[in-house]
Structure 1
Amino acid sequence: MDKKELLNKIKEDNVKFISLQFSDVTGTVKSVDMPVRNFPDALEDGAWFDGSSVEGFARIQESDMRLTIDQDTYAVLPWSPEERRRARVFCDIYMPDNTPFEGDPRGTLKRMLAKISERGWMLNIGPEPEFFLFKRGNGSGVHPVPHDVGSYFDFSANDEAVRVRTELMEALDIMGLDVEVGHHEVALGQHEIDFRYGDALRAADNILTLKYTVKAIAAQNGLVASFMPKPIYGVNGSGMHCHQSLFNEQGENLFFDDSDEFKLSKLAYSFIAGQLKHARALTAVCAPTINSYKRLVPGYEAPVYIGWAQTNRSALIRIPRHNEGRDKAVRAELRFPDPSANPYLAIATMLGAALDGIDNEMTVPAPMNNVNIYHLTPEELVEKGIESLPGSLAEAMRELENDDVVRNALGKETYEAFSRAKWAEIEEHRMKVSDWEVERYLETA
């Protein structure tokens, strides 16, 4: 839509307020709200805001920042009441001198995508974010209670979880996501809603949209929606597998080669090799919380070991099977990201690692088909040269510090802001006393 069409659409939708949205470095959605009467001016000139109070943005002396509206991201918020109907647009962040703010996560991804656009390529991402629905009303305690008793792909005609998930899918459709499928996941109360793959920037926008839409609809149903990677001990955690492929300007899948055993092109193999090489540093951005490393352990379907395969879901990167003649479906599924990640930064670094593989014509090791890596002994892992992901956020951050390729994909400003935020999280966690410590040591120490 051009500006005139957008303003007419806003009027037709009876919108009263517009939320100008962006994210901080940790992936938290921020919003500047305005009455609809002020929106035409904001479309022309942007909207000023104080960046000094936003995580990772600006020092006090550099606080003035401008939101520039991406009008193609307009969507009505379906849970807002009709008399106060709200819509949202995503924004890019600029400095007073009209230069893009280097610490803007969305801008960070756009800079990386510009590099492949120069080559005539487009990165497509199909994300699969998982989440839990928990009951409210469990007192003042923090231990969550699952909303249902279903398991993987379970169906019941009277299932309350199905009703809520259907409501979620309807809301996401209204928000402009092309929802493909929703289903119950392995753990009690765990769900997944997948939307059609698309260009990487829109995919990242859609991940943020899905997260706050799911939270809003869950709250209307008296539930708590959580994208925490491992909210419950002893059951599967929530991941965000990312299906990736590169297309050219003619719409051809550059990952496809019909003559190859796995139908993968040389470009695809180098793409995968780059991500495998930088996997340990990527983990800091793609699994960026203390809790992420409670999910990345053997035994709960989360990938831990660095390798690739077609038939093996314990591998870090999997090549999903596809029907004959569907060359556009050939893709590489990166399995270790989780939904706590800032999607802009996660995709930017995933692409940066892949480009290093492509530009240096890296080759992949042998695939890990027909072997369950979880069952290998430590000696066998060493013998096969199979490395594992970091075991903690601190270990992952040290890997990131030493990886120029992944750090450069973030950019200096974004990396420094991200590093400050994550080391502060690590230090805060280090000083906290957990339930486990009390149970273990209170009487035995």
Structure 2
Amino acid sequence: MSKLTKEDVLQQAKEMNVKFIRLQFTDILGIIKNVAITVEQLEEALDGEIMFDGSSIDGFTRIQESDMYLKPDYDTFTVFPWRPKVGGAVARLICDVYTTDGKPFVGGPRNILRKVLQEAEEMGYTMYVGPEPEFFLFEKGDNGEPTTITNDQGGYFDLGPSDLGQDTRRDIVLALEKMGFDVEASHHEVAPGQHEIDFKYSDALTAADNIATFRFVTKAIANEHDLHATFMPKPIFSEAGSGMHMNQSLFKGKENAFYDPDDRLGLSQIAYYYIGGLIKHAKGMTALTNPTINSYKRLVPGYEAPVYIAWSASNRSALVRIPDAQGLGTRVELRNPDPAANPYLATAVMLKAGLDGIKNKIEPPKEVVDNIYDMSECAKEDACIDSLPGDINIAVQYLLRDEVIKEALGEHILNRFVEAKQIEWDVYRTQVHQWELDQYLKIF
């Protein structure tokens, strides 16, 4: 239930001198789309009467069933603080997509997450998520095109003058806070030009909205500094890629259902079952949590990204880590997602996997306390430690075998997502890449 009413939004728009409103939603790949209206149409929009052509959005509808409605979530109303106020401010509302018969559109990623959240609610749980998205800041070329030239040579937790991106990062944080974010921390990451901004955990739907908002705000503010921000998982060879660790917990009312003070790690049986579900469905989820060909250039040993399907409270080489927090802060951290993921679909499949673990009482494997990167192949086999898929094509095959994850997505999104990934893979595998020319052209 929205905290804000229609009247609240109309009043805020008036007080803030809003002239334009962007009605935002995401496509299946997680790209933000929007329909812009003037404030004179706001009341009509708040009543869910703004229509758009769904056939123009990849994966949405067929031509003969193109009309769709945008129903705004009143609580997402906010003004873009970086836009000039001359002539009126610009605001946005995040919308759910509905069909002409008044039903939630099965191809709307936000609707998919709502559906799985409803399943959790029926089991008595509310999901909370704390994301840790990373990104790169690159210089622009003479014609304004993005390059892969970083604007600094800083490292982990560096500050100026090594961290030349700190002013941009500061302005991103300030913009996010003005838009209602509760930013917990921001810092330079491991690679040159790489940064991380963490915002406080929130209910899963708000967290997914925040991730989507964070990405376009970061790009907009970086552009103001004549920089290009990218959430591409692995833009630079030999440097660490960008991840988006997802801290997850389930609450029953005001109590953290993952916490048990009598357990060695402070975890309840529900938490262990949830971990069991994440481990069981790790391969089936990967196409959603790591959805691009480039995602798998990050998921290789040696660059801090998790490759091995295991869990641990003590080392960061495992896929699932248990941060050292107790009580309300008890949580499970999934470390393989990257910031190119559609936040609604990624959150939906993670929750669906965890709920399956709870429903079917799936015990996780034994905790792995050793650094998996240092273990021999024999030792990994003895410990039954499997690996994530090595590329998006293999990940899609695992997705198609996982009935639980397929159920979370629904037939419409599943079919169109798989089709998009198969086309992407086919184009990639038939291209002649620069590496091949460098490696073979002179030799053969």
Q: Pick the TM interval, shorter chain.
A: over 0.9
Residue 117 of structure 1 is matched in structure 2 by 121
Unaligned stretches of 5+ residues in structure 2: none
Q: Which residue of 2 aligns with 1:407?
A: 406
2:245 corresponds to 1:241: yes
Q: CA deviation at 1:156?
A: 2.4
Q: Give the aligned residue type for 1:168.
A: I
After TM superposition, list the pairs within 5 Å mapping 1:340-351 onto structure 2.
340-351=340-351
How is 1:282-301 mapped onto 2 (pairs within 5 angstroms)? Answer: 282-301=285-304
Q: Does 1:206 align with 2:210?
A: yes
Match of 1:160, SS state, is: coil
2:354 is aligned with 1:320? no
Q: Which whole-Å CA distance do the structure 2 matches of 1:54 and 1:269 have between them?
A: 40
| Counterpart-to-counterpart distance in 1, 2:147 and 2:293 | 17
Asked if the contact 1:297/1:304 (under 8 Å) is kept, the reply is: yes
What is the match of residue 386 of structure 1?
A: 385
Q: What's 1:72 paired with?
A: 75
What is the match of residue 283 of structure 2?
280
Structure 1 residues 209 and 435, CA, compared in 2 at 3 Å: closer, same or farther? same
Match runs of 1:298-309 below 5 Å: 298-309=301-312
1:42 to 45, 50, 58: 45
**Which residue number corresponds to residue 421 of structure 2?**
422
Q: 1-side partners of 2:335 and 2:164: how far apart?
A: 29
Q: For residues 206-261 of structure 1, what are the alpha-carbon distances to aligned partners after superposition, in whole Å with 9 as ceiling and x for unaligned? A: 00000000000000100000000000000100000000000012x10000001111
Distance 2:94 2:144 in 1: 35
| Structure 1 residue aligned with 2:368 | 368
- Cα gap change, 1:363 to 1:45, in 2 (>3 Å): closer
> How far, CA to CA, are the matches of 1:140 and 1:105 in structure 2?
32
Give the superposition deviation at 1:148: 1.0
- Answering whether residue 34 of structure 2 is matched by residue 31 of structure 1, we say yes
3-state SS of paired residue (2:221)? helix
Greater shift in the superposed pair: 45-54 or 209-218: 45-54
Deviations 1:67-95 (A, max 9, x none): 01111100101121212421000000111
Give the structure 2 partner of residue 337 of structure 1.
Answer: 337
Tell me what 1:102 maps to: 106
Distance in 2 (alpha carbons) for counterparts of 1:45 and 1:345: 23
Residue of structure 1 aligned with 2:131, choices 103, 107, 127: 127
CA RMSD of aligned residues (A): 1.3
CA contact (8 A) 1:46 1:69 kept: no
Is residue 17 from structure 1 mapped to residue 23 from structure 2 by the alignment? no
- 1:431 to partner: Cα distance: 1.8
SS in 1 for 2:94: strand
Q: Is the 8 A contact 2:21 2:91 kept in 1?
A: yes
1:267 equivalent in alignment to 2:266: no
Give the gaps of 5 or more residues in structure 1. Answer: none
Contact 1:74 1:88 in 2 (8 A): yes
Partner SS for 1:16? strand
Answer yes or no: is the 8 Å Cα contact 2:76–2:94 preserved in 1: yes
Q: CA deviation at 1:140?
A: 8.8
* Equivalent position amino acid for 2:268 in 1: S
Shift of 1:159: 4.7
Q: How far did residue 157 of structure 1 move?
A: 6.4
Letter in 1 for 2:231: F
The amino acid across from 1:338 in the alignment is: D
**Aligned to 2:36, what secondary structure does the other structure show?**
strand
Partner deviation per Cα, 1:280-326 (whole Å, 9 max, x = no partner) = 1111100000000000000000000000001110000000112xxx4
Q: Percent identity?
A: 49
Looking at structure 2, the residues matched to 67 and 46 of structure 1 have their Cα atoms a distance apart, in angstroms, of 7
Amino acid at match of 1:247: F
Matches within 5 A, 1:251-262: 251-262=254-265
Distance in 1, matches of 2:365 and 2:134, equals 30
1:165 alignment counterpart:
169
Offset from partner CA, 1:371-422 (integer Å, 9 cap, x none): 1111122222112211000000000000001110111111111111111111
Counterpart of 1:198, as a letter, is S
- How many positions carry a matched residue from both structures? 440
> Which letter maps to 2:209?
D
- With over 3 angstroms needed to count, the CA separation of the structure-2 counterparts of 1:444 and 1:158, relative to structure 1, is closer
- TM-score, normalised to structure 1, is 0.97
Runs of 4+ in 1 over 4 A off after TM superposition: 138-143
Name the SS for the 1:91 alignment partner.
strand
Contact kept? 2:48, 2:72, Cα under 8 Å = no
Partner Cα distance (2:378, 2:85) in 1? 63
1:118-137 CA deviation, whole Å, 9 max, x = no partner? 22210000000000000112
Question: Partner residue of 2:236?
Answer: 232
Contact 1:138 1:145 (C-alpha < 8 Å) held by counterparts: no
1:176 to 180, 197, 210: 180
**What is the CA–CA distance in structure 2 between the aligned matches of 1:142 and 1:21, rounded to whole Å?**
25
1:129-179 CA-partner distances (Å, limit 9, x unpaired): 000000112679875001111110112268531111111100011111111
Q: Which residue identity lines up with residue 401 of structure 2 in the other structure? A: N
